Amino acid sequence: MIITRFAPSPTGYLHIGGLRTALLNYLWAKKNGGKFLLRIEDTDRSRHNEDAVTAILEAFEWVGLKSDEEIVYQSKRDEIYKKYIEQLLEENRAYRCYMTKEELEALREEQTAKKERPRYDGRYRDFTGVPPEGVEPVIRIKAPTEGSIVVHDRIKGSIEFRVADTLDDFIIARADGSPTYNFVVAVDDALMGVNEVIRGDDHLSNTPKQIVVYEALGFELPTFYHVPMIHNESGKKLSKRDGATDVMEYKREGYYPESLLNFLLRLGWSYGDQEIFTMDEMLNLFNPKDISKSASIYNIDKLNWINGEYLKKRSREELAKDLNIEPTPIINLVKDRCSTLGELQTEIDKILLRPESYDSKSIKKHFKELNRELLEEFLEQLKSSENSCEEIFSSILEKSGTGMVKLAQPVRIALVGVAQSPSVVDVVSILGRDEVVYRIEKFLESQKG
């Protein structure tokens, strides 16, 4: 059974790149009838932040990716880590190192002076003497001292890490007894039964260390997939300037979680030229080995387009529910030009709410003497005639022998404040005669004197 996981560090909020990693793990597990697990990596107590955990879980709730088992919190697993550290000490696969900070610094300086890579020199590896007094030891793992560690990555291929260049007997427990990052990740993945690890390639350099831990503890290695990062269009790491990085920001702006997931899957993965994928299609078609080896480019226009497609497919009633408003027919009038619920709300308001002011450019361009007369005539007939708005419209234009814009633009300005709106006949019929009369009178009043 395939078991995958997503393991966020709660540093603030769920990052869009993190959600993508979570999605890939989720799809791969579900596609194979396996399990997707969630682990909160909250060992960094100084930054430990309950709010950040809550924010991450909220985001997961919103997008609907559920952990198949109880969520694992590293902060609650001290006893487990201790047990494995003890085991390694007993088996002589790890040891106490009494080197002081000063000694470590001196070693570093010496190595740098010789143009060597700073690394621990293993001086306590086989130490059997009397430990120096007053030094709380750290615990170091016995890493290989020569050769290389090869990461067999399903996306990047086999990557060789030469021990001499990348590894030393690294610390697995600090002087205060707290275990270190690479140690706990390896222990947790192994104990949780995780056998396929899909994660950002910013973690690739951690992998050899984690392999050392796996091997020391006799755990079976998982399959690794290191996914290239998401970049902005200038090829740099995605930052807030390129678009929201907080997943919940997308909720606030009115994106659908389904479309966000669709968009994220398409970053660095494709299936022909298909752009829109239902969850079932994602599950059927996705395989992490098809993820591109090069960085994927974040493009907000693409997301807007995808979200617009999702939005268009929804009925007026569904959209009204999404927005928590009455199912006004204005929705149908404007939905095709909107890419987010936020935009949809704005477009609805532009028609639904009485204008607070009138755009001076529109007035200058479209409110000439003739147009004023046409508008006044329109108002008169609305008040006195039984005919429909549409009929009134055409009869005025016919009588005056002028084009549609001459009347349509001033009506628009009067109704919504600017000379842009959907079909003016539609707007008029949705607002209803009384409201149209009211708005035109208000407008004409504002233009007096």
Tell whether residue 302 is a contact of ligand GLU (CB under 6 A).
Answer: no
User: Which two three-digit tokens encode residue 426?
Assistant: 């539609």
Strands 35-40, 72-73: pairing kind:
parallel
For the bound state, the minimum distance from the C-beta of residue 427 to ligand GLU, rounded and expressed in Å, comes to 50
For the bound state, the minimum distance from the C-beta of residue 25 to ligand GLU, rounded and expressed in Å, comes to 9
Report how far residue 105's alpha carbon sits from residue 98's, in angstroms, rounded to the nearest whole number.
Answer: 14
For the bound state, the minimum distance from the C-beta of residue 231 to ligand GLU, rounded and expressed in Å, comes to 17
Closest CA to 255 of 270, 244, 241, 266: 244
Has 240 been annotated as catalytic?
yes
> Which C-beta is closer to ligand GLU: that of 37 or that of 348?
37
Tell whether residue 7 is a contact of ligand GLU (CB under 6 A).
Answer: yes
Tell whether residue 48 is a contact of ligand GLU (CB under 6 A).
Answer: no
Tell whether residue 17 is a contact of ligand GLU (CB under 6 A).
Answer: no
Please, which of residues 196-215 interact with ligand GLU by CB under 6 A?
Answer: 199, 203
> Which C-beta is closer to ligand GLU: that of 125 or that of 203?
203
The conformation of residue 223, written as its DSSP 8-state character, comes to: E
> Which C-beta is closer to ligand GLU: that of 41 or that of 347?
41
Please, which of residues 156-195 interact with ligand GLU by CB under 6 A?
Answer: 185
Count of other CB atoms within 10 angstroms of residue 33: 8
Do 414 and 439 form a contact (C-beta atoms < 8 A)? yes
Stretch that binds ligand GLU, among 4-12, 91-99, 365-373, 395-403 (CB under 6 A): 4-12
Stretch that binds ligand GLU, among 7-15, 49-57, 117-125, 390-398 (CB under 6 A): 7-15
> Which C-beta is closer to ligand GLU: that of 20 or that of 199?
199
Tell whether residue 9 is a contact of ligand GLU (CB under 6 A).
Answer: yes
Stretch that binds ligand GLU, among 5-13, 95-103, 211-219, 346-354 (CB under 6 A): 5-13
> Which C-beta is closer to ligand GLU: that of 3 or that of 7?
7
For the bound state, the minimum distance from the C-beta of residue 41 to ligand GLU, rounded and expressed in Å, comes to 4
The residue from 101, 240, 289, 364 that is catalytic is: 240
For the bound state, the minimum distance from the C-beta of residue 185 to ligand GLU, rounded and expressed in Å, comes to 5
For the bound state, the minimum distance from the C-beta of residue 199 to ligand GLU, rounded and expressed in Å, comes to 4
Report how far residue 240's alpha carbon sits from residue 242's, in angstroms, rounded to the nearest whole number.
Answer: 5
Count residues near ligand GLU (CB under 6 A): 7
- Give the DSSP H/E element, type plus range, for residue 166: helix 163-166
For the bound state, the minimum distance from the C-beta of residue 20 to ligand GLU, rounded and expressed in Å, comes to 12
Report how far residue 321's alpha carbon sits from residue 347's, in angstroms, rounded to the nearest whole number.
Answer: 16
Closest CA to 38 of 15, 9, 17, 11: 9
Report how far residue 113's alpha carbon sits from residue 108's, in angstroms, rounded to the nearest whole number.
Answer: 8
> Which C-beta is closer to ligand GLU: that of 19 or that of 416?
19
Tell whether residue 8 is a contact of ligand GLU (CB under 6 A).
Answer: yes
Report how far residue 211's alpha carbon sits from residue 188's, in angstroms, rounded to the nearest whole number.
Answer: 13
CA of residue 27 relative to chain centroid, distance? 16
Edge-to-edge strand order for the sheet containing 138-141? 94-97, 138-141, 171-173
Stretch that binds ligand GLU, among 6-14, 87-95, 124-132, 217-225 (CB under 6 A): 6-14
Report how far residue 411's alpha carbon sits from residue 428's, in angstroms, rounded to the nearest whole number.
Answer: 9
User: Which two three-digit tokens encode residue 157?
Assistant: 């291929």
Q: CA separation (Å) from 228 to 134, 170, 292, 359, 389?
A: 46, 26, 8, 48, 59
Binding mask 315-344 for ligand GLU (x = CB under 6 A): ------------------------------
For the bound state, the minimum distance from the C-beta of residue 6 to ligand GLU, rounded and expressed in Å, comes to 7
> Which C-beta is closer to ligand GLU: that of 9 or that of 223?
9
Closest CA to 222 of 153, 292, 160, 293: 153
Report how far residue 247's alpha carbon sits from residue 228's, in angstroms, rounded to the nearest whole number.
Answer: 19
> Which C-beta is closer to ligand GLU: that of 224 or that of 256?
224
Stretch that binds ligand GLU, among 1-9, 64-72, 88-96, 335-343 (CB under 6 A): 1-9
- Kindly give, in sequence order, each residue whose CB lies less than 8 Å from that of residue 5, ignoring residues fewer than 6 positions away: 25, 36, 37, 38, 39, 189, 192, 194, 197
> Which C-beta is closer to ligand GLU: that of 60 or that of 443?
60
Edge-to-edge strand order for the sheet containing 35-40? 3-6, 35-40, 72-73
- The identity of residue 50, as a single letter, is E
For the bound state, the minimum distance from the C-beta of residue 29 to ligand GLU, rounded and expressed in Å, comes to 14
Tell whether residue 41 is a contact of ligand GLU (CB under 6 A).
Answer: yes
Give strand ranges (E) for 243-306: 296-297
Interface ranges with ligand GLU (CB under 6 A): 7-9, 41, 185, 199, 203
Which residues have a catalytic role annotated? Answer: 240
